[in-house]
């Protein structure tokens, strides 16, 4: 087959989609032969096609490969092996050390090269990564005093490749129990989702979280108001990731609905049936208790001994027709499962020295759910240091990275004010 090109090879050379090549073949603009049920194009025919046609490339086209993952193809995309090549091109040197022997550190420098260096020591050792990278907006961002914080000038494929290169390195740093949360806006987020699928694997996707970030907006353009962004949540290995089920308390309105009855001593409660679907032929839960048999086709949820104990403790309510139900008090409710729409508005944050700072309560939820006290938390777009601040509060180890001088200044100032011990380093290029 060396004398022939596949349709995919033709598409890659022309920088167009596979479907576009198929159209050339159907219209007989490109001559092809069918070999083993697949079209092939000879080198000579391909050269003839190139010499007689002007082909417009499609650098942002989507390719669907023969795998479970979708990948984006765009101009300037690097091979994974090239990204992961062991070239560190510099060293990390201390700026300011707290002399306490503490692990926690902030590293000033380009996170691509810093992450490469960190792989030497921390490959497979990071349990949680949260990042809030640039969003490909084409803008510059400043604080309230108009001090420049960071530039977000990369667009389209350039931005996606900037992010993709760092995601491969972050994947290598994650432990087998690790998770990554990537915060992004909806304009570029759908492309980023495909990049995340490519890097971490579609099967390791867990949640696409909608975060309500502000109050509803009222603007003149013909569109719905935009008051949310998204957080993409992936595991290094699905079903192995650290997961501490943190539940939400019921609101007063929810408590009134779910626990409609009121006990004079213990407050709001509800009742559940003491029997469940399915018959027990020989077991204890299929036998008579207190003169009652479970209804046909059902069995007792508890042993007869447990049923007696519940009854003696006054935890069984008998209906008017003599049907027993277990009493469940609202004060014993362990909370409701957190859903994938979060309301954590950024307004009113304590630190106002850095733009796009994220809500501490949101970060607290992420860190509590997806790390343990002995875990290392990493944020390589550290900005104001919010992730590091909350990780420190929750007794996690942490590493922050940013190449903004404003970020370095803000983190130093705020951490000194809060008496947070941090070792400060700088990446020095050897070029």
As a three-state string, the secondary structure of 274-333 is CEEECCCCCCHHHCCECCECCCCCEEECCCHHHHHHHHHCCCEEECCCCCEEEEEEHHHC
Does pTM top 0.85 for this prediction? Answer: no
In a domain, 405, yes or no: yes
pLDDT above 90 covers what percent of the chain?
Answer: 53
What's the pLDDT score for residue 66? 41
Can you give the pLDDT at residue 59? 47
Q: How many CA atoms lie within 13 A of 73 on its CB side?
A: 17
The CATH number of whichever domain residue 157 belongs to comes to: 3.40.50.150
Asked whether residue 207 is domain-assigned, the answer is yes
On whether both 30 and 138 belong to a single domain, the answer is: no
Q: Is residue 76 part of a domain?
A: no
CA distance 154 to 159: 5
Same domain for 240 and 126:
yes
- Which two structure tokens, joined as six digits, stand for 238? 């699905």
DSSP states of 358-399 as a string? PPHHHHHHHHHHH--TT-EEEESS-TT-HHHHHHHHTT-EEE
Between CA 151 and CA 241 the distance in angstroms is: 34
- Residue 204 pLDDT exceeds 50: yes
* Bridge partners (DSSP) listed for residue 234: 180, 205
- Residue 164, domain member (yes or no): yes
SS3 127: strand
Q: What is the mean pLDDT of residues 239-265?
A: 91
Going by their DSSP bridges, the two strands 148-152 and 62-63 should be labelled as: unpaired
Angstrom distances, CA of residue 44 to CA of 5, 209, 271, 334? 10, 51, 79, 71
Answer with the residue of higher pLDDT: 309 or 150. Answer: 309
| Token pair for 303 | 């042993």
Exposure string of 344-382, with b = 16+ CB inside 10 Å and e = fewer, is beeeeeebebbbbbbbbebbbbbbebbbeeebbbbbbbb
Mean pLDDT for the stretch of residues 128-150: 78
pLDDT band at 55 (very low <50, low <70, confident <90, very high): low
Identify the weakest region by mean pLDDT among 90-99, 113-122, 201-210.
90-99
pLDDT band at 265; cut points 50, 70, 90 = confident
Is the pLDDT at 218 greater than 80? The verdict is: no
Give the separation between CA 172 and CA 80, rounded to whole angstroms. Answer: 12
Average pLDDT over residues 294-311: 92
Beta bridge partners of 342: 211
Residues 102, 88 share a domain:
yes
Backbone dihedral region of 297: left (phi > 0), alpha (psi from -120 to 50 degrees) or beta?
left
Residue 245 has pLDDT above 60, yes or no: yes
Q: Are residues 234 and 361 in the same domain?
A: yes
Nearest alpha carbon to residue 234 among 186, 183, 185: 183
Is the four-CA dihedral 57, 62, 67, 69 of positive or negative sign? positive
Decide which of 282, 299, 332 is a domain's last residue: 332
In this prediction, residue 373 carries a pLDDT of 95
CA-to-CA separations, 54 to 10, 51, 76, in angstroms, rounded:
14, 8, 21
SS3 state at 256:
helix
Same domain, 154 and 214: yes
Q: Residue 1: pLDDT above 50?
A: no
What pLDDT shows up at residue 69? 65
> What count of residues does the chain have?
431
Cα–Cα distance measured from residue 307 to residue 302, given in angstroms and rounded to the nearest whole number: 6
For residue 145, being part of any structural domain is answered with yes
Domain final residue, candidates 296, 316, 332: 332
Both 190 and 52 in a single domain?
no
> 241 and 295 share a domain?
no
Give the separation between CA 66 and CA 146, rounded to whole angstroms: 49
Q: Is 65 a domain residue?
A: no
Question: pLDDT band at 333, cuts 50/70/90?
Answer: confident
Q: Average pLDDT of 210-227? A: 85
């090269």: which residue's tokens?
113
Summarize the confidence of residues 325-331 as an average pLDDT. 92
**Residue 338: what pLDDT?**
93
Q: Are residues 115 and 219 in the same domain?
A: yes
Number of other CB atoms surrounding residue 422 within 10 Å: 22
pLDDT score of 86 more than 80:
no
201: in domain: yes
Q: Percent of the chain scored above 70 by pLDDT?
A: 89
342 and 214 in one domain? yes
Residue 32 structural domain: 4-58
Residue finishing a domain among 293, 314, 332: 332
Is the pLDDT assigned to residue 344 strictly greater than 90?
A: yes
**Residue 86: CA atoms inside 13 Å, Cβ hemisphere, count?**
3
pLDDT given at position 280 = 82
Torsion of CA 373, 374, 378, 384, to 10 degrees: 40
Please give the pLDDT value at position 228. Answer: 92
CA Rg value for the chain = 29
- Indicate if 265 and 344 belong to the same structural domain: no
Q: Is residue 71 part of a domain?
A: no
User: What total number of domains does the chain contain?
Assistant: 3
More confident residue, 332 or 387: 387
One domain, residues 110 and 222:
yes
Residue 113 · residue 88 · CB < 8 Å: yes
Mean pLDDT of the chain: 87
**Greatest mean pLDDT among 97-101, 147-151, 185-189, 239-243:** 239-243
- The reported pLDDT for the residue numbered 142 is 66
What is the predicted pLDDT for the residue at 349?
55
153: confidence class by pLDDT, cuts 50, 70, 90 = low
Task: Say if strands 397-402 and 71-72 run parallel, antiparallel, or are unpaired.
Answer: unpaired
Judge whether residue 427 has pLDDT over 70: yes
Q: What is the pLDDT of residue 311?
A: 92
Contact 369, 118 (CB under 8 A): no
30 and 140 belong to one structural domain: no
Task: Give 157-182 pLDDT, tens digit per residue.
Answer: 899 999 999 999 999 999 999 999 99
């Amino acid at each position: 087959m060396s004398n022939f090109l596949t349709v995919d090879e033709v598409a890659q050379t022309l920088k167009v989609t596979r479907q576009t090549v198929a159209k050339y073949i159907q219209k007989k603009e490109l001559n092809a032969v069918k070999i083993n049920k697949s079209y092939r194009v000879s080198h000579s025919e391909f050269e003839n096609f190139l010499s007689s046609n002007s082909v417009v490339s499609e650098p942002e086209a989507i390719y669907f490969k023969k795998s479970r993952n979708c990948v984006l193809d765009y101009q300037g995309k690097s091979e994974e092996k090239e990204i992961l090549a062991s070239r560190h091109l510099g060293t990390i040197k201390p700026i300011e050390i707290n002399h306490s022997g503490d692990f926690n550190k902030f590293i000033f420098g380009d996170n691509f090269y810093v992450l490469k260096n960190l792989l030497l020591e921390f490959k497979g050792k990071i349990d949680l990564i949260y990042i809030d990278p640039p969003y490909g907006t084409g803008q510059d961002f400043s604080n309230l005093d108009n001090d420049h914080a960071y530039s977000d000038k990369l667009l389209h494929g350039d931005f996606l490749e900037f992010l993709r290169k760092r995601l491969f390195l972050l994947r290598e740093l994650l432990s087998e129990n690790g998770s990554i949360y990537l915060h992004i806006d909806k304009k570029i987020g759908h492309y980023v989702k495909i990049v995340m699928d490519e890097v971490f694997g579609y099967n390791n996707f867990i949640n696409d979280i909608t975060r309500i970030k502000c109050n509803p907006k009222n603007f003149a353009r013909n569109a719905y108001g935009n008051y949310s962004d998204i957080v993409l949540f992936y595991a290094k290995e699905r079903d192995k990731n650290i997961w501490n089920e943190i539940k939400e308390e019921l609101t007063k309105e929810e408590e009134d609905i779910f626990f409609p009855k009121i006990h004079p001593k213990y407050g709001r409660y509800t009742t559940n049936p003491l029997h469940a679907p399915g018959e027990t032929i020989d077991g204890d839960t299929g036998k008579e208790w207190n003169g009652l048999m479970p209804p046909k086709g059902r069995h007792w949820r508890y042993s007869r001994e447990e049923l007696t104990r519940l009854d003696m403790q006054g935890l069984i309510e008998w209906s008017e027709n003599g049907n027993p139900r277990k009493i469940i008090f609202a004060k014993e409710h362990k909370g409701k499962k957190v859903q994938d729409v979060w309301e954590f508005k950024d307004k009113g944050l304590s630190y106002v020295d850095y733009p796009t700072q994220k809500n501490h309560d949101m970060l607290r939820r992420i860190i509590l759910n997806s790390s343990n006290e002995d875990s290392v938390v990493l944020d390589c777009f550290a900005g104001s240091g919010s992730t590091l601040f909350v990780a420190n509060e929750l007794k996690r180890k942490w590493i922050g990275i940013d190449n903004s001088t404003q970020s370095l200044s803000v983190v130093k100032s705020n951490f000194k004010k809060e008496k947070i011990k941090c070792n400060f380093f700088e990446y020095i290029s050897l070029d």
